[in-house]
Amino acid sequence: MEYVKNITELVGNTPLVKINSITKNIESTILAKLESYNPGHSIKDRIGIQMIKDAEEKKLLKKGGVIIESTSGNTGMGLALAAIKKGYKMIVTMPDKMSIEKIDILKAMGVKVIITPTNVTADNPQSYYSVAKRLSIEIKNSFYVNQYDNLANRKTHYKTTGPEIWRQTDGKITHLIAGVGTGGTITGCAMFLKEKNSNIQIWGIDTYGSVYKKFHETGVFDKDEIYSYTTEGIGEDIIPKNVDFKLIDLFEKVTDKDAAIMTRRLAKEEGILAGNSCGAAMAGLMQLKDKLKKNDIAVIIMPDHGSRYLGKVYNDSWMKKQNFI
């Protein structure tokens, strides 16, 4: 018989697929790593399982405990897989801009979801970070995962995603392109890949409304760069400990509109029903295409599945309301 003992054993080893139509005028090879192939349909399954294991080993999480996290949705799902397997309760805080699909999916997995306002600063007591922190103090036997500063996040990608990309490209990868939220994906992969070959270029995709690009280029944390945007999962108004700016060669900003339009093109032209930040990463690579040479092999991380955005990017009324179409 051929079966795995638990759903969590299906996490990782996601496929690489060549992008053809969108990149038809580019001579280099562009490959997408489809993280929607994880059982929770996103890259965050990887860190959900690892951060819980790490907390148990450090005795921060005990039997019957409550897992608390602030999330744009996907990390909640990854954590829920681990919580279900191990019998923990779970509470997540989510900003109100996140898609209804993400909220309902978490509820379906038995997670208590607390919605917080998007348009408040990170240090406001109502922000999703502050509410999660407060709950973790108030609730006995609880553990605040904190994917932003918890270094088990980037370690997971150092141990899994990075080595997979190296093996799948036969060590020939020249560029890695990834959206930057907590920074765990890009930093963990970069740590592994640059150890193997320090010439590999690491390009971070940022959004308008986020502090990353300016901070990387000038060292200035500019509050004026912060405003709300529709792209989900990337860009930040804080500097998480998981980002190692030294390992990122450049940041490229993509507009909400360009990210949304490119997300739709991935579905229509490539048959890849991808999430919003996948479109952002693809659009970012297209903005940078003149930096690529003929024999380059670029890998773009595609963090999640389009089913999470049916009411947004894939909905004509929503797209018109945003003036994207």
The binding site for ligand PMP (CB under 6 A) comprises 72, 74, 179-186, 232-234, 275, 277, 303-304
Helix locations, the chain, DSSP H: 44-57, 74-86, 100-108, 128-138, 152-159, 161-168, 184-196, 212-218, 256-270, 276-287, 316-321
Question: At its nearest, how many Å lie between ligand PMP and the CB of residue 278?
Answer: 8
Taking the complex as a whole, the smallest distance from the CB of residue 91 to ligand PMP amounts, in Å, to 18
Write down the catalytic residue from 33, 44, 102, 155.
Answer: 44
Measured N-to-C along each axis, helices 161-168 and 184-196 cross at an angle, to the nearest 10 degrees, of 50
User: Least distance (Å) from ligand PMP to the CB of residue 232?
Assistant: 6
Q: In this complex, which beta carbon is closest to ligand PMP, that of residue 8 or of residue 147? A: 147
Strand, helix or coil for residue 184: helix
Residue placing its CB nearer to ligand PMP in the complex, 65 or 175: 175
Catalytic: 44? yes
Closer Cβ to ligand PMP, 65 or 188, answer by number: 188
| Euclidean distance between CA atoms 62 and 59, whole angstroms | 6
| CA separation for the pair 168, 12 (Å, rounded) | 13
The C-alpha atoms of residue 4 and residue 181 are separated, in whole angstroms, by: 31
Q: Which is nearer to ligand PMP, 65 or 177 (CB)?
A: 177
- In the chain, % helix, strand, coil (3-state, to 5) comes to 40, 15, 40
Name the minimum Å distance from CB 304 to ligand PMP: 5
Output the residue with the shortest Cβ distance to ligand PMP: 233
Annotated catalytic sites, by residue? 44
